[in-house]
Amino acid sequence: MFRQFDTLRHRVAEARNNDSLFFASLLSEKTIDSVFGDAKAILDSAQIYTTAVTLWVFLAQVMSINHGCVSAVAKLVAWRVVKGLSPCSAATGAYCIARDKLDEEAMQRLVTQSGAAIQSHTPDHWRWKNHQVIVADGATVTMADTPVPPPSRLPVR
């Protein structure tokens, strides 16, 4: 699903430095096609906004500071030029229509499968005190730095 996990940090840094479609270097078109299955047929007749491209632009839009369609489409134009493709229109209408056609269930599957792929490639030494810690945005995790006290010292309820 993802390329070698040890290069993930490098790809993230490179994508951020290029300020283009961040997720195009992280989620392959093959991965997106396999997860979206038949749902991708709705968009894949389009010349510019295929399922993969629409998803990459949408994720770039969501992760950007201003969340605007204009900025997201501008990133697509820049990405196409860097890839040696002809620039597409900077108008946002086609993108917004394509974005509305993205299949939500397929997107949920993509998130679940991507998360599982990342987790399966996570080195054990990244664990905190040999614990898998799952954090949601805005969450705080606290764990004692000392071993669990012997049962005789636990308070009685």
How many structural domains comprise the chain? 1
Q: What is the pLDDT of residues 101-130, one digit of tens each?
A: 999 999 999 999 888 888 888 888 888 888
Taking the C-alpha atoms of residue 92 and residue 72, their distance in angstroms, rounded to an integer, is: 9
Residue 96's CB is within 10 A of a number of other CB atoms, namely 13
pLDDT of residue 10: 72
pTM: 0.68
The parent domain of residue 65 ranges over 5-123
For residue 128, being part of any structural domain is answered with no
Do residues 14 and 32 make contact, with C-beta atoms less than 8 angstroms apart? no
The answer, yes or no, to whether residue 7 has pLDDT greater than 80, is no
| pLDDT tier for residue 57 given thresholds of 50, 70 and 90 | very high
For residue 94, being part of any structural domain is answered with yes
For residue 65, being part of any structural domain is answered with yes
Do residues 43 and 49 make contact, with C-beta atoms less than 8 angstroms apart? yes
